């Protein structure tokens, strides 16, 4: 197996060296840089599997860089930042980041997020192509317009199905409230968070064994939701 190509964008020298060493030890091929402009250049010129991006960079803000990177490559972007406020996470995810890790974090946690991002980018096209999501007891068939739980047909309303469909399309990725509202209800409803809460509660009641401890429709506190992926 060829080793995965990682771009590490981090201006803190100590952290950069530490992560570079740790990730290399775990078999990743790491390119490290400290500026946004160098990162942009590297993404343009090379094939990468995952990007680790700090937000506070010396030349410009990581948040501005995200859409630029997404414009030239669909490589998953994991934010590594000390900014721990929900609005800051939401801004990065809305800009197109795939995941968000708040500093300080352990290397184990980072490796887990990277594996998940890599698995997702390898397999994510599959549910979309096949139109079929399968995780433990839950099966969603987009083409047949069917939801099955442990083999039993579950009745869902058209809006519930649309919400499921969007989550399936972005399986494993954190979807912000705003992104989900836009995809399901349209751009004029980005602020209507209560729609989402109501429909998510209904869906959980239908699909989760214990709606208070969901295993499929996961909450990212204060940020949004994520459909479990394994």
In the bound complex, what is the minimum distance in angstroms from residue 54's beta carbon to Ca ion? 4
**Given the complex with Ca ion, which of 53 and 175 has the nearer CB atom?**
53
**Given the complex with Ca ion, which of 8 and 223 has the nearer CB atom?**
8
Q: How many CA atoms lie within 13 A of 1 on its CB side?
A: 6
Stretch that binds Ca ion, among 8-16, 63-71, 139-147, 152-160 (CB under 5 A): 8-16
Residue with the CB atom nearest Ca ion in the bound state: 56
Per DSSP, helices labelled H in the chain are 13-25, 36-45, 62-72, 86-94, 107-123, 125-130, 158-169, 177-185, 193-207
Mapped onto helix, strand or coil, the DSSP state of residue 26 is coil
In the bound complex, what is the minimum distance in angstroms from residue 8's beta carbon to Ca ion? 12
- The Cα–Cα gap between 148 and 35 comes to 48
**Given the complex with Ca ion, which of 20 and 149 has the nearer CB atom?**
20
34 binds Ca ion (CB under 5 A): no
Length reported for the chain = 230
- The Cα–Cα gap between 134 and 150 comes to 11
Helix or strand holding residue 226 (H, E): strand 224-227
Compute CA distances 140 → 78, 93, 151, whole Å. 27, 25, 11
The DSSP symbol for 171 reads T
**Given the complex with Ca ion, which of 11 and 141 has the nearer CB atom?**
11
The interaxial angle of helices 177-185 and 193-207, nearest 10 deg, is 90
Stretch that binds Ca ion, among 6-14, 137-145, 149-157, 168-176 (CB under 5 A): 6-14
Q: Which of 4, 11, 20, 228 binds Ca ion (CB under 5 A)?
A: 11
**Given the complex with Ca ion, which of 8 and 175 has the nearer CB atom?**
8
**Given the complex with Ca ion, which of 10 and 160 has the nearer CB atom?**
10
Binding mask 39-68 for Ca ion (x = CB under 5 A): ---------------x-x------------
Contact positions vs Ca ion (CB under 5 A): 11, 54, 56
């Amino acid at each position: 197996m060829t080793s995965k190509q990682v771009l590490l964008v981090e201006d803190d020298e100590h952290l950069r060296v530490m992560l570079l060493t740790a990730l290399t030890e775990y078999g990743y091929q790491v390119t490290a840089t400290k500026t946004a402009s160098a990162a942009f250049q590297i993404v343009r010129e090379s094939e990468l599997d995952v990007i680790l991006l700090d937000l506070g960079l010396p030349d410009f803000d990581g948040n501005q860089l995200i859409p630029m990177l997404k414009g030239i490559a669909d490589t998953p972007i994991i934010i590594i930042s000390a900014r721990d406020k929900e609005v800051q996470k939401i801004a990065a995810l809305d800009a197109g980041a795939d995941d968000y890790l708040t500093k300080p974090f352990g290397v184990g946690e980072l490796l887990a997020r990277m594996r998940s991002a890599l698995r997702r980018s390898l397999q994510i096209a599959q549910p979309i192509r096949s139109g079929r999501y399968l995780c433990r007891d839950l099966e969603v068939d987009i083409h047949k317009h069917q939801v099955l739980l442990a083999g039993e047909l579950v009745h869902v309303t058209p809006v519930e199905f649309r919400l499921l469909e969007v989550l399936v399309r972005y399986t494993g990725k954190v979807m912000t409230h705003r992104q989900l509202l836009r995809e399901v209800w349209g751009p004029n409803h980005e602020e209507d968070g209560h729609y989402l809460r109501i429909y998510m509660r209904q869906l959980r009641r239908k699909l989760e064994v214990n709606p208070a401890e969901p295993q499929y429709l996961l909450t990212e506190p204060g940020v949004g939701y994520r459909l479990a992926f394994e």
